[in-house]
Structure 1
């Protein structure tokens, strides 16, 4: 009976092991579901919406080729469509019935242009201006490097990229914005082809094989024990002679008569024991010992919904999303920092203009001109590449967009954090630094909304604060000019304001050092840049403005001359003059303005002061 059970166990074990191995080989299903197409036409852009990319669960793998340069980026669907504007493009959709992608041409409605038409009588642009405009149009047509993208990739010839986007994020494909987009596109998703019973079948077969072996060995042992004692033959008796024993030939020694001794048969038990580890090792190797070969009772083995590509918490439906995400802003700040470093070293104002505007650009342009003549003149304030503790993007889906962020220098703790006001004028332009100020040592940043929610940009005439944003610069300039005699003096906190004290001390020093043959006059007024106001909690506002300080030095007597020196002489190009010199300093300022009805005063959070103009009267 044991032999029958052993044979049955061997047969069932073999069947289980073969079935388990077959699940890993001939019965194994495909690991991906893929659709592809060849896009016809010569349009420069191709778009795959997030709704199509999430047709199947799991990460999306895109294989794109068919052009010399292959560019792939993804961003919010609304941002992708805004960047495209009225440019026609190919839209790809998933045809699940035919397992393919379908391409259709989309021609958006023309975008309204707010730029005023040239007036009659205006001279046509010159060839240089026209060439510059065409070059700018070509540069703007290239989607590479846009601040709207959450991520972007580019390769030559072909690109394979795995992404994980939700249904409100779309992918844009292009070459360089002018040549046709790559025409061969494949999208694939992973398929769960796990074989959870392969492992148990193989392991169970091996276990049953061992059981059969044990039964087989027990059967052999029982058979040997069941043999009874042999009957003895009659060797002597009455009237019979005792017969001598016939000598037994040796079975183990070799001699001339009997030849070599016969070989002993190998024990069946040892042979079977040797087979077991070989079978066990082979079966385990075929299973791969992977998790997909075993059942998952934890509930974590199912394919889940595709995660978002950012760390942002999705805002409520009725609130617009923040202008930028965290990773997006880090990339933008890093690029700005790199441009600032390169432009400052090369004194390249054209390069600086690709990432700076307004007062921040004026400061650097003047600095480059001065350093061209004064080699030891200090460089402008550097822009660290590390985002700091405060990030306040505007919550909006329209343009212009504004972001306030604080950047810090991780390599030098003595450098004060820098607050940047970034403004993006339209979808195809990048964020430009409109204001860059060093925060005051004791600056108290008010409570603001999380960066994942964003804030509202307030209109210049907002009355929800104790002073309107468009009145702030003029009021502070009046305080600088008139001190405690200013009508707005009590609105501003003087305790944490180091700028007023520095301006007063600098003016007094210049008066004391001025020769008796010259006079000096000071003035301050609001700058030309529009105020930027972002709402804080409890209806307050963080407001960025600029003021311009002017100082005019004139000779007292007719025929007398004054001799400008240092930066003023380098910037104006004047070494001596009988007319006089006017110098202009631009102060970039960042304030916290409390809500209307509050007993708090306006606090200066940070400032940057630089000589931006100098000219002969």
Structure 2
């Protein structure tokens, strides 16, 4: 019986080992699913929707080719709504997935007449899909004109340019689409290949092979046990009575030389029985060793790039998504830092206009003009590339979009820590980049109010909101009145001025001291007067978690130094003379100082006061007056 069990174990072991190896070789499934398409015509933009990208589970690999200029090709992805808003009135090709035969199909989308007057506005045209592209030679003047270049747009969550765009690996969630393009003038790459991985794991292969090897060992043990028991059961023989008479011997058969004699006796028989199972066991053992080696080779993973998981910016179900994600904002700040460094190094206002607008641009323009004539004039603080200490994007699906960021400043030349830099960024339309409207240094030990997480974003408070202690559009005038009149201002009790460094520098007390100094030095030959007015900068208000708001404003202060006695002259300071081009005047000189201010304004009914969070100020214009 033991011999029968051993043979059964050998057979089952062989079947299990072969089946395990077959799962890893002959019956192994394909490692990936491919779907490709060729975009007909000369489409400048190709859009791949998230539904196509998620047609199969797993990491998506996009391969493109067919570009006329590989250096200008790009692949980017962003929220689907943002991609369509950027395209606006542009014709583009869209890729769809046909699950029946796992193929990609191409349609041309021609937008209807845009409701807006300009390309890239917040009003997005409604596209119309057509199965085939327009025939060659029938393009309209709109399609013949150069299109916008999507490369470098702040709207994209991630972007790949040039050779980096050839093959891109991504894990894009629902609601995110890919745009493939050239530079807006040349056609986009027209060969699209999407690849998804397939689960090639064979969970039963290893147990089958190991189980087969275990059964093989068990079969060998059973066979050896059976052999041992068989030999032991024979024992010594006893003699039993007289021997029987021998039968007559038959004539012996003599085999010829060509016939091999068959071994005789119990030892030969036993040796034969031992060799046959042993030979079978040896063959199966060798087969098992080969199977283990084959499994080890096939199961070794091939090194592949680690995919980067990408999540689209999103809020809760009832609120719009934040304007930017944290990685997206980090990339925007780095681009702003590079542009600011180039402009500052060359004192080039045109370069500054690429990333600065409003009060921030006005102050930089004036600084460049002064430094061109006054070499010892210090430059404005550089915009560091990071790291971000705080980010507060607006939660919105429309434009303009506002983002607030606080960037850590490096130590100065003496190793002393500098106050962080707070930026207010605004993107006017989908095709515009974020521009720095305000760039201020935060006050020392400033207490920042509780803000919404960057993954949720904050709402923009209307400038005329009466839900705050001071309306946002009144904050600039109110603070300007305090700088002029001090504790005599009607707004004085509404502001917390305990640690206000700006009031200490240029407040009512300082103004009175300047007027007294000039009167003592020059008598009544001239007069110095101060007045406040609103600057051209926008009022930006972003809600805090306590129903208050962070309010950015741009008041201006006008200093008029005027001659009051015939024959007297007004002498301009070095900075004013550099900007105005007038060193002295027989009539008077007007100097305008711009302020970039950020306040925390508590909600109406709160016991808290309006608090200055940070500021930047400087001379923005100067001229001679008659």
TM-score, normalised to structure 1, is 0.82
Q: 2:290 aligned to 270, 276, 282, which one?
A: 282
Distance 2:150 2:515 in 1: 54
Structure 2 counterpart of 1:154: 161
Distance 1:270 1:202 in 2: 21
Alignment gaps of 5+ in structure 2: 120-141, 240-273, 302-306
Does the CA contact (< 8 Å) of 1:574 and 1:616 recur in 2? yes
Matches within 5 A, 1:3-14: 3-14=3-14
Q: 1:611 aligned to 619, 622, 626, which one?
A: 619
Does the CA contact (< 8 Å) of 1:387 and 1:405 recur in 2? no
Does the CA contact (< 8 Å) of 1:91 and 1:106 recur in 2? yes
Does the CA contact (< 8 Å) of 1:85 and 1:110 recur in 2? no
Does the CA contact (< 8 Å) of 2:79 and 2:312 recur in 1? no
Are residues 114 and 86 of structure 1, via their aligned partners in 2, closer, same or farther at CA, if it must alter by over 3 Å?
Answer: closer
Structure 2 counterpart of 1:167: 174
Matched, 1:181 2:181: no
Distance 2:112 2:517 in 1: 65
Structure 1 counterpart of 2:461: 458
Structure 1 counterpart of 2:383: 383
> SS of 1:372's equivalent?
helix
> SS of 1:591's equivalent?
strand
Distance 1:406 1:16 in 2: 64
Structure 1 counterpart of 2:86: 83
Which shifted more, 503-512 or 470-479?
503-512
> SS of 1:170's equivalent?
strand
Does the CA contact (< 8 Å) of 1:443 and 1:496 recur in 2? no
Q: Deviations over 1:51-72 (max 9, x none)?
A: 2222222221111111023311
Matched, 1:498 2:506: no
Q: 2:97 aligned to 94, 99, 108, which one?
A: 94
Matches within 5 A, 1:290-301: none
Does the CA contact (< 8 Å) of 2:358 and 2:538 recur in 1? no
Deviation at 1:581? 1.9
Distance 2:352 2:191 in 1: 38
> SS of 2:584's equivalent?
coil
Distance 1:615 1:292 in 2: 77
Does the CA contact (< 8 Å) of 1:194 and 1:292 recur in 2? no
Deviation at 1:459? 1.8
Distance 2:343 2:224 in 1: 86
Are residues 56 and 395 of structure 1, via their aligned partners in 2, closer, same or farther at CA, if it must alter by over 3 Å?
Answer: same
> SS of 2:461's equivalent?
coil
Structure 2 counterpart of 1:127: none
Q: 1:525 aligned to 530, 533, 539, which one?
A: 533
Matches within 5 A, 1:437-516: 437-504=440-507, 507=511, 510-511=514-515, 514=518, 515-516=521-522
Deviation at 1:448? 2.5
Deviation at 1:519? 3.2
Deviation at 1:229? 5.6
Structure 2 counterpart of 1:545: 553
Matches within 5 A, 1:311-390: 312=313, 314-390=314-390
Distance 1:271 1:509 in 2: 112
Q: Deviations over 1:109-151 (max 9, x none)?
A: 23333579xxxxxxxxxxxxxxxxx9xx96x711111111111
Does the CA contact (< 8 Å) of 2:526 and 2:563 recur in 1? yes
Distance 2:410 2:278 in 1: 70
The alignment yields a C-alpha RMSD, in angstroms, of 3.1
Does the CA contact (< 8 Å) of 1:63 and 1:161 recur in 2? yes
> SS of 2:577's equivalent?
helix
> SS of 1:7's equivalent?
helix
Are residues 411 and 557 of structure 1, via their aligned partners in 2, closer, same or farther at CA, if it must alter by over 3 Å?
Answer: closer
Structure 1 counterpart of 2:25: 25
Matches within 5 A, 1:53-202: 53-67=53-67, 68-69=69-70, 70-114=73-117, 141-156=148-163, 159-202=166-209
Distance 1:520 1:275 in 2: 109
Alignment gaps of 5+ in structure 1: 117-133, 233-266, 294-305
Which shifted more, 373-382 or 427-436?
373-382
Deviation at 1:462? 1.4
Deviation at 1:31? 1.6
Are residues 59 and 491 of structure 1, via their aligned partners in 2, closer, same or farther at CA, if it must alter by over 3 Å?
Answer: same
Which shifted more, 423-432 or 52-61?
52-61
Structure 1 counterpart of 2:41: 41
Which shifted more, 95-104 or 576-585?
576-585
Distance 1:375 1:275 in 2: 91
> SS of 1:211's equivalent?
helix
Does the CA contact (< 8 Å) of 2:63 and 2:192 recur in 1? yes
Distance 1:550 1:521 in 2: 8
Distance 1:560 1:396 in 2: 58
Distance 1:31 1:228 in 2: 63
Does the CA contact (< 8 Å) of 2:411 and 2:417 recur in 1? no
Does the CA contact (< 8 Å) of 1:65 and 1:157 recur in 2? no
Deviation at 1:157? 9.2
> SS of 1:366's equivalent?
helix
Are residues 6 and 60 of structure 1, via their aligned partners in 2, closer, same or farther at CA, if it must alter by over 3 Å?
Answer: same
> SS of 1:386's equivalent?
coil
TM-score, normalised to structure 2, is 0.81
Q: Deviations over 1:453-495 (max 9, x none)?
A: 2222122211111222111111111111111222222221121
Distance 1:429 1:13 in 2: 70
Which shifted more, 593-602 or 6-15?
6-15
Q: 2:424 aligned to 421, 426, 431, which one?
A: 421
Which shifted more, 419-428 or 520-529?
520-529
Distance 2:370 2:288 in 1: 81
Deviation at 1:41? 1.0
Distance 1:423 1:158 in 2: 29
Q: 1:573 aligned to 581, 585, 607, which one?
A: 581
Q: How many residue pairs are counted as aligned between the two chains?
A: 551
> SS of 1:324's equivalent?
coil
Distance 1:168 1:26 in 2: 40
Are residues 375 and 477 of structure 1, via their aligned partners in 2, closer, same or farther at CA, if it must alter by over 3 Å?
Answer: same
